[in-house]
Amino acid sequence: MLNVIREMDLLLIEKCKKGDRSAQQQLFNQYAPKMMAVCRRYVSNKQEAEEILLVGFTLVFSKIDQFRNEGSLESWIRKIMVNESLGFLRKRRSLFLFAELQDADGETGPWPADSDLMTEDLLELIASLPDGYRTVFNLYALDGYTHAEIAAKLGIEEATSKSQLSRARQLLRQRLDKIEGRKLKKSAHDGKSN
């Protein structure tokens, strides 16, 4: 099945390299929903994320001949979308990253295993983070970049990346604990009502 998908992608890529509009539309339709989710993780405003998506796909089509069949097409497109999102944040100058070295090593542990939050709830919590925290969290936790790569990509110190991740996790944990607390209160209240 994976080989069939890969062959379909390769055929689509070849058609896109030749400027085939229907192939470009098919590629867009196939990957746009996932890539929109990537853009929305970095930019919470839907219209801005749509703008990034369109600019990103314009780049995909203009640089499709640079895709070397190393890794998946989806990963290649995702990198373009991440870079476009970061570029948008830089232009908007809302990416405030401040180093506080005392927090750099204080990373918190993983999410509680018993949390029953839905993926959409977690993505909404992530989207509510300040831009700098959200950007580093997305790059590290969701897109798999190292702190060194994040530092290079954002033009910050590695310690700043670690600090931002730590603060993002702390803020997410606080918000998660608050939500879990509300659910427990509601559950206890509902139990008394019955």
Give the closest residue to 40 by CA, choosing from 32, 30, 28, 48: 48
Q: Kindly report the pTM of this predicted structure.
A: 0.72
- Hey, which CATH number is domain 2-92, 3.40.1350.10, 3.40.640.10, 1.10.1740.10, 3.40.50.300? 1.10.1740.10
Burial class (CB in 10 A: 0-12, 13-18, 19+), 52: buried
DSSP letter for 64, please: G
Fold classification of 101-193 (topology level): Arc Repressor Mutant, subunit A (1.10.10)
What are the boundaries of each domain within the chain?
A: 2-92, 101-193
Give the closest residue to 50 by CA, choosing from 88, 99, 91: 88
Count CA atoms within 13 Å of residue 140 on its CB side.
25
- Per-residue tens of pLDDT for the chain, all 194 residues: 556 557 888 889 999 999 999 999 999 999 999 999 999 999 988 999 999 999 999 999 999 999 988 788 999 999 999 999 999 988 876 555 544 433 433 443 344 444 445 667 777 888 888 888 999 999 999 899 999 999 999 989 999 999 999 999 999 999 888 877 776 676 666 666 55
